[in-house]
Amino acid sequence: MYLSVIIPAYNEEKRIEKTLLNVHEYLSTQPYEYEIIVVNDGSKDGTSALISSLSNKFKNLKLIDNKENHGKGWAVRQGMLEASGDYRLFMDADNSTTVDQVSGFLTYLAEGYDIVIGSRRIKGANIAVRQPWFRDFLGGTFRFVVHTLVPLGVTDSQAGFKCFSRKASEDIFSRQTIFRWAFDVEILAIARKMKFKIKETPIRWVNDADSKVKMSGMVKMLFEVLQVRINLITRKYA
């Protein structure tokens, strides 16, 4: 298996079908083997039933159906560790970054990088629809805290479009301990600690108006970043 695409989903009944159509249409034209893994994170709506029905139509679509909600990071970890691909991409169910952009990522991985992450902050990035100014402000505050507590060497740790080699996936996600708000920070901190080669590359990104970040979520995220710092100091990832 060449590529696995992992999509975590929580209450995505209204929009995930369109995303899966896009992913399937693109991958079905590629010359390599692939699989699409949707990890249902205890959805309360009809997400699970919808994915099950689509699996009869889409080649290589697999559902991991969790009955309880554990967090996006848990769902991503589960999909990455159960995947079969030599390269493993996780992307958001809202299709804010479309799967066709993985082609450039795969080129970098073939050149020897272990991890390629999408960035909305570096030169060449295209933010087609911007998020509200308040979310930009919260994002800037979060990036400052991350840079201070857990320097990652990247400009955008939170974009939900990241691709890993098989070895990087297995080594990093098996050590993951944070499963909700700041899991992206933790996996990149682990990757840097283990000296994996990381490439940050620009992406085209469209803000989803239905996506909301509350102040309470930001506070929880900051506490989780602090926990990553503590984990690094105590050598928890060794």
Fold category of 3-233 in CATH? Spore Coat Polysaccharide Biosynthesis Protein SpsA; Chain A (3.90.550)
Residue 149: Cβ within 10 Å count: 17
Rounded to 5°, angle at Cα 69 from 183 and 7: 60
Domains in the chain: boundaries: 3-233
Give me the chain's average pLDDT, please: 92
Summarize pLDDT for 173-190 with one digit per residue, the tens.
999 999 998 999 999 999
Span of 106-110, 140-144, 170-174, 227-231 with lowest mean pLDDT:
140-144
The span from the first CA to the last CA of the chain, in angstroms, equals: 29
**Under 8 Å between Cβ of 116 and 105:** yes
Q: Against a cut of 0.95, is the pTM above it?
A: no
How far out from the chain centre does Cα 85 lie? 16
